[in-house]
Amino acid sequence: MIEIEGLSKRFQVDSGEIVALADANLSIGEGEFLCLLGPSGCGKSTLLRIVAGLTPATSGEVRIDGRAVIAPGPDRSVVFQDYALFPWMTVAENVEFGLEARGVDMARRRQVSRDLLQVVGLGAFAEKYPHHLSGGMKQRVSIARALAVEPVLLLMDEPFGALDAQTRYVMQQELLRIWRAYRKTVLFVTHSIDEALYLADRVLVMSARPGRIKAELRVCGDRPRDMASAEISRLRREALELLSDEIRRAMEIESETAAISE
């Protein structure tokens, strides 16, 4: 169980102080797939980075199974939008990187990477280098690397945002297949309403900065979901209604910030 209570984050910038998050509260159950949805600049990625231990909170607390998060840890893995693969390492070596850092012996590392690359459909590419791969393939390697260390929580920060629409859809299907196989708890950040409704058990809609949890949408039904169904259409309309004012407010905030910095 992941519990987030009273989470706030302030940043000091040249023009003063920016409040990115304000009193954010949420919980994530074991094995749950939860999406954070909101306008640009609402603190989605900041919240995820605090949970990852990469960014300290100004106030509030994150707990995983009752233990406070104060730094990165082996119970959490992060998948970013930009893949973050090491270009001088083979695909297998990239997957094995976290295990090697923990002192896992070579035979075990190789077995784990072989197994995971088969799961993500890249078994034939183990000895290739990242520049040989498409964007979708690189992201599958990133997911395999994140799973290799057997985390409790998989944190995904717009992992498919840089992909074209067709590849993105395929990767969403792949992610659900992998999630069903491993049943990891997932916290997934996205700007896409349809992506959130396709993937998540619950969608948390965030307000414009300072980011707060504005509403929760529960998405029922078996996966893969029929995105043309009456229930998904209803949830899409509800999400659009919840977000419309926040998107306008986020644009106003950006304009004001730009004017101050000029």
Global pTM value: 0.92
DSSP per-residue codes, 38-69: --TTSSHHHHHHHHHTSS--SEEEEEETTEEP
Residue pair 142/159 in contact (Cβ under 8 Å)? The answer is yes
pLDDT score, position 216: 96
Considering the chain, what percentage of its residues have pLDDT values greater than 90?
75
**Model confidence band, residue 18 (pLDDT cutoffs 50, 70, 90):** confident
pLDDT (average), residues 120-146: 94
pLDDT (average), residues 41-69: 94
Whether the pLDDT of residue 260 is over 60: the answer is: no
Whether the pLDDT of residue 195 is over 80: the answer is: yes
Whether the pLDDT of residue 23 is over 70: the answer is: yes
pLDDT (average), residues 53-60: 95
Whether the pLDDT of residue 258 is over 60: the answer is: no
The region of weakest confidence among 144-153, 212-221, 247-256 is: 247-256
Residue pair 159/217 in contact (Cβ under 8 Å)? The answer is no
All domains in the chain, ordered by first residue: 1-75+153-215 (3.40.50.300), 84-150 (no CATH)
Q: Is 129 exposed, middle or buried (0-12, 13-18, 19+ CB in 10 A)?
A: middle
Question: Using one digit for the tens of pLDDT, what is the confidence trace for 74-100?
Answer: 899 999 988 889 999 999 999 999 999
The region of weakest confidence among 1-5, 107-111, 240-244, 248-252 is: 248-252
Average pLDDT score over the chain = 91
